[in-house]
Chain A
């Protein structure tokens, strides 16, 4: 993370350019910063990932394989097959994620977009939690365990407590937040008390949570009465998130909660004193400690809040997504996808929000793609992880696309246009500073 931000942040230019060419060089600098900056890099990382996905789809497509058998006889057949495989898959992805052009009217055509929001709800919530931990300088890899703990708590309240509608919903939701917070709080506590590496502890707690929930699903704590399957009874109607846009769409009020959580995290990180201390620790824990911040206590607070946000995802899974009773696979990989969401969103609340919507779109579209084009939905995992890999290494993306480094000066051009105004010593100095 630190390396990423370091190389990514535009470096402040040490020497202002000469006044007469300030405007044009300033403009050039902006262009260079935008072209080499994080927005363009994010788009390019997505492009690379889609290209990788396209290659995989083309290579494994049966039609392409059949046509490539006589490639030298009629190469155009192979190319057509490749084009139809890739375009068919990505068109299905788009139609499953944004707008279905085959639908009768606008209201049913827009349904895929609402599915995207449904699929992104848990991703955003968990991504926010992971992002908060990243901002404190902690790696919370334990999304899976926290979601499972939260789902178990929210689920248990949701099918045992008999309470009227809004009350039970809130109780179950709070139970979920509590479960996630406790499960992550263990990590913060151990980190603060013993210095235990949070990466290892969160990974291990994922497995502990999985086996614990598996066990609880086998005994009459979570298991549906009279059943032998490791599955819970369905949620009581009072605990279920009501639909947000009417019964025709799957998106629930859970999405509103997630929007609220995003606003909360933004406020927490950017406007509150606690968030300031979090960021101070994330930037430099030693300096924060010297400045009088109780780093150990804030690790615990940070993990509690992080876990509660991930817990929102767990509660959403049982109260909004799978309300008919869940098993130990309720996390459906969101814990790990959330890490990629947080990274893609650069650990900023609204960035995570956007990244969650993008990955939700991949997920929603991925299932349509699988149904329509027989392309396994697992390709979404590949695309997501390639995006994150390249996003984490901006210099590599710049190298691939021959992009400038932000903050750098276009050396050959300057030499041509105004060799006198930019003394060599300055350039050398800047380069030295850049390195």
Chain B
């Protein structure tokens, strides 16, 4: 039973047994690899000194003291905890049980903490600032990933996330500047995302052009359009066309007072709060409502969905538009919150990271959000660590999301299988 099943069509029956045998050894193996890496980095190549963690900012209600952690000692503790978690994972796998997500998350957090301590030896890391910038980088990624999840769940590969983000950023900057209303700019960004999606939908659903090709070409088109309009129109008329008003920060009274994570999560603009709502809504709608069941049915088995009376192409069309609206909203974050104005290719490949988050998050809105957060965190870590004199080159930190995604797609990390009919046009016979 342990052999892999050749034809994906019949993997319904044996998967259960398969999974119990094949999948369970991956997690302990990865844990073991990271534990060994930890032993090498934190103990063998351990750095002496003290790492300081600045846990609160000057405006916090509850002031935490600066935590001073002896680097080598912390490394040894981290390695021990990692080894214990690995042993637990081995024990679970031995009895053919699944390693819970909580254990995996705990392992990741512990290892990350150890890595931070090791990399910033002899320096001070400002944790709230690190988290704040991580959230800032993650917001467009999360919006993009949610758009990707919705679109791929309904069976349309959305490579055009980059284009949707960029179009949203551009349009929101111009509209918000002209109307002097950030909110109108935000809505315009969603409309822009819908327009990009509409092209994707028309070409891939109505005219059956390959979805990946349309997506790639759309990205080039949007980059070309925004670059052209930026250099031709915006650059010379910046005060009248590219000086968008920004959303104010709205601290949530009690929650923003939580030490360490409070300011990063709850002292934000309305876009971020809308993002929290969007994460929940997409998850709830996909898995708990009739609409979500239909969307997933269309993405997994369009013929079956058609047989029970769901209009496959209509469902796909509408949900691709919805995906565009979500991703476009993420684009608005660049122009209306993160940076003072729109600049050329401000997204800089964020759409592709969002695509990676969709896959790494196994097409699940919550996991995709976590993946986007992880990617955002590693990106922001790179800034903090290069400031703290880390021995790891920043390029390798920036490379991490992509390498992790390749490993995920290759089946080395977890088990990533997309919606069965994603990427295939549906032709009613």
Whether A340 contacts B217 in the complex (CB less than 8 A), given A60-B229, A385-B224, A393-B207, comes out as yes
**A36 to B414 alpha-carbon distance, docked (Å):** 49
Is B179 on the interface with A (CB-CB < 8 A)? no
How many A-B contacts if CB must be within 8 Å?
Answer: 147
**A336 to B352 alpha-carbon distance, docked (Å):** 14
Chain B 136-160 interface mask (CB, 8 Å, partner A; 1/0):
0000000000000000000001010
Query: Please, which residues of chain B bring their CB within 8 A of the CB of A197?
Result: 409, 418
Of A190, A199, A392, A395, which contacts B410 at CB under 8 A? Answer: A190
Q: Which among B199, B231, B349, B402 has the highest number of chain A CB atoms within 10 Å?
A: B402
Query: Please, which residues of chain A bring their CB within 8 A of the CB of B219?
Result: 336
Q: Which among B199, B216, B411 has the highest number of chain A CB atoms within 10 Å?
A: B216
Query: Closest chain B residue to A190 by CB distance?
Result: B410
Whether A385 contacts B221 in the complex (CB less than 8 A), given A199-B212, A215-B393, comes out as yes
Is B61 on the interface with A (CB-CB < 8 A)? no
**A336 to B399 alpha-carbon distance, docked (Å):** 20
Whether A392 contacts B209 in the complex (CB less than 8 A), given A190-B410, A208-B399, comes out as yes
Q: How far in angstroms is the closest Cβ of chain B from A336?
A: 6
Q: Are B227 and A381 in contact (CB-based, < 8 A)?
A: yes
Query: Please, which residues of chain A bring their CB within 8 A of the CB of B405?
Result: 200, 204
Q: Are A56 and B228 in contact (CB-based, < 8 A)?
A: yes
**A56 to B219 alpha-carbon distance, docked (Å):** 18
Q: How far in angstroms is the closest Cβ of chain B from A7?
A: 7
Q: How far in angstroms is the closest Cβ of chain A from B223?
A: 6
Query: Please, which residues of chain A bring their CB within 8 A of the CB of B306?
Result: none
Chain A 366-387 interface mask (CB, 8 Å, partner B; 1/0):
0000000001101111101110
Is B3 on the interface with A (CB-CB < 8 A)? no
**A193 to B411 alpha-carbon distance, docked (Å):** 10
Q: How far in angstroms is the closest Cβ of chain B from A201?
A: 6
Q: Are A211 and B395 in contact (CB-based, < 8 A)?
A: yes
**A139 to B410 alpha-carbon distance, docked (Å):** 16
Chain B 397-412 interface mask (CB, 8 Å, partner A; 1/0):
0110011011001111
Of A218, A340, A396, which contacts B220 at CB under 8 A? Answer: A340
Q: How big is chain B's contact interface, by range? A: 35 or more
Q: How far in angstroms is the closest Cβ of chain B from A41?
A: 13
Q: Are A7 and B208 in contact (CB-based, < 8 A)?
A: yes
Is B396 on the interface with A (CB-CB < 8 A)? yes
**A384 to B216 alpha-carbon distance, docked (Å):** 12
Whether A212 contacts B209 in the complex (CB less than 8 A), given A204-B406, A389-B217, comes out as no
Q: Are A382 and B213 in contact (CB-based, < 8 A)?
A: no
- Interface of B (DSSP majority class): helix
Chain A 17-61 interface mask (CB, 8 Å, partner B; 1/0):
000000000000000000000000000000000000000100010
Of A2, A204, A379, A382, which contacts B356 at CB under 8 A? Answer: A204
Q: Are B228 and A1 in contact (CB-based, < 8 A)?
A: no
Q: Are A375 and B232 in contact (CB-based, < 8 A)?
A: yes
Q: Are B159 and A199 in contact (CB-based, < 8 A)?
A: yes
Query: Closest chain A residue to B232 by CB distance?
Result: A60
Of B159, B203, B232, which contacts A376 at CB under 8 A? Answer: B232
Chain B 2-19 interface mask (CB, 8 Å, partner A; 1/0):
000000000000000000
**A337 to B219 alpha-carbon distance, docked (Å):** 12
Whether A207 contacts B402 in the complex (CB less than 8 A), given A194-B411, A385-B224, comes out as yes
Is A315 on the interface with B (CB-CB < 8 A)? no
Q: How far in angstroms is the closest Cβ of chain A from B335?
A: 19
Whether A381 contacts B399 in the complex (CB less than 8 A), given A190-B410, A395-B207, comes out as no
Whether A207 contacts B220 in the complex (CB less than 8 A), given A2-B210, A392-B213, comes out as no
Q: Are A378 and B228 in contact (CB-based, < 8 A)?
A: yes
Query: Please, which residues of chain B bring their CB within 8 A of the CB of A215?
Result: 393, 395-396
Query: Please, which residues of chain B bring their CB within 8 A of the CB of A204?
Result: 352, 356, 402-403, 405-406, 409
Q: Are A1 and B208 in contact (CB-based, < 8 A)?
A: no
Query: Please, which residues of chain A bring their CB within 8 A of the CB of B231?
Result: 376, 378
Q: Are A381 and B224 in contact (CB-based, < 8 A)?
A: yes
Query: Please, which residues of chain A bring their CB within 8 A of the CB of B304?
Result: none
**A428 to B406 alpha-carbon distance, docked (Å):** 51
Is A214 on the interface with B (CB-CB < 8 A)? yes
Q: Are B399 and A376 in contact (CB-based, < 8 A)?
A: no
Chain B 195-225 interface mask (CB, 8 Å, partner A; 1/0):
0000100010001111011101111110111
Q: How far in angstroms is the closest Cβ of chain A from B62?
A: 39
**A393 to B206 alpha-carbon distance, docked (Å):** 9
Interface, chain A (partner B; CB < 8 A): 1-4, 7, 56, 60, 139, 141, 190, 193-197, 199-201, 203-205, 207-208, 211-212, 214-215, 218, 336-337, 339-340, 343, 375-376, 378-382, 384-386, 388-389, 392-393, 395-396
22 interchain pairs, CB-CB under 8 A: A3-B209, A4-B209, A60-B232, A139-B212, A194-B410, A196-B410, A200-B356, A200-B406, A203-B355, A204-B402, A207-B402, A211-B402, A215-B393, A336-B220, A375-B232, A379-B224, A381-B223, A389-B199, A389-B209, A392-B210, A392-B214, A393-B207
Q: A2-B210, A199-B159, A389-B221 are in contact. List 15 more A-B contacts (CB 8 A).
A: A1-B213, A3-B207, A3-B210, A194-B409, A197-B409, A204-B409, A207-B352, A212-B395, A214-B395, A215-B396, A339-B217, A343-B217, A376-B232, A388-B217, A396-B203
